[in-house]
Amino acid sequence: MKISVISTTYNSEKYLVENLKALKSQTYQNYEHIIFDSCSTDNTVKILKKFQDHRTKLFVEKDNGIFFGLNKCLDNVTGDLIFLYCSDDTIKNKNLFYEISKVYESRSDVISTDVNIVSEKTNNIVRRWGAPKKLSHIILPAHTGLFIGSYFKKFNFDTKYKISSDFKYLRKIFKDNNINYKFLNIHSVDQRDGGNSTKYSNQLKKMIEDIKILNEDSLFSIFLYPIKIIYKLTQFRWKIK
């Protein structure tokens, strides 16, 4: 069983060494790393080349946004499971890939794990994103903690959505009749809160895009959106003074 790790980068030098070291430290080594860099102007490409080995596929070219780059990565996947590893995130368990390999059955597997959202400023946990134990079309796990069977690489990210394309992407997968969903009770990744979908300044834009995506199914789907919001709010670690 081979894992295809996909990443996009742009001026990502700040956390990239930590990110790549965590990947290299995995005890299960049967993986490939497919990286799309959007012509970084800092030391990102230099760092990527330093860590590059025979498992690395590195593309450096101008893109039309992060989801364009992820689609390019998906086009080059040759493994059995796809793991989206953002350049400022960190794998927190060196046995993560090994644990995934033990429960893997087929290329229609989707294996979810728990993710912590951590503050970029303090590194404190601001949200524990617990994956749902059962299949759901509205309560979705963090895409950064998912291992998606390569059967689903036929689905691309919709690049017209600049923030919530991952939400639409996962909904397409979770509605597919061939999905074999599994929950693995393990903390896999720390995801920093500086990304597009977690920035407070982008929350209104994200909400509008989320609703548009739900509206593509039916008008009734919009009424499910409050469930998503309530579930999300319960995961934050509120400070009580």
Tell whether the model's pLDDT for residue 234 goes beyond 80. Answer: no
Residue found by looking up tokens 């299960």 in the block: 28
Sign of the torsion angle spanned by Cα atoms 141, 143, 145, 148: positive
Find the mean pLDDT for residues 71-88.
Answer: 97
Long-range contacts of 206-210 (CB under 8 A, 24+ apart): 206/163, 206/164, 209/161, 209/162, 209/163, 209/164, 209/167, 210/164, 210/167
Q: Tell me the C-alpha distance between 218 and 75, whole Å.
A: 30
Locate 176 and state its tokens: 């597919």
Q: What are phi and psi of 64, to 5 degrees?
A: -115, 35
Look at 182 and 225; give whichever has higher pLDDT.
182
d(CA 194, CA 209): 19
pLDDT of amino acid 205: 87
pLDDT of residue 13: 97
Please tell me which residue, 136 or 142, carries the higher pLDDT value: 142
Residue 128 has what pLDDT?
Answer: 87
The pLDDT tens digits of the residues spanning 158-176 come to: 999 999 999 999 999 999 9
The pLDDT value given to residue 239: 43
For residue 73, how many other CB atoms are within 10 A of its CB? 23
211 vs 112, more confident? 112
Q: How confident is the model at residue 182 (pLDDT cuts 50, 70, 90)?
A: very high
Q: Collapse the DSSP code of 44 into the 3-class scheme (helix H, G, I; strand E, B; otherwise coil) and give the result.
A: helix
Percentage of the chain lying above the pLDDT 90 cut: 68
Mean pLDDT of 119-126: 88
**pLDDT grade, residue 240 (50/70/90)?**
very low
Q: pLDDT tens digits, residue range 128-138?
A: 888 888 877 77
* Mean pLDDT of the region 102-106: 96
Q: Are 77 and 34 in contact (CB under 8 A)?
A: yes
pLDDT at 230: 64
Residue type, 138: I
> Taking the model in full, what pTM does it have?
0.88
pLDDT at 89: 96
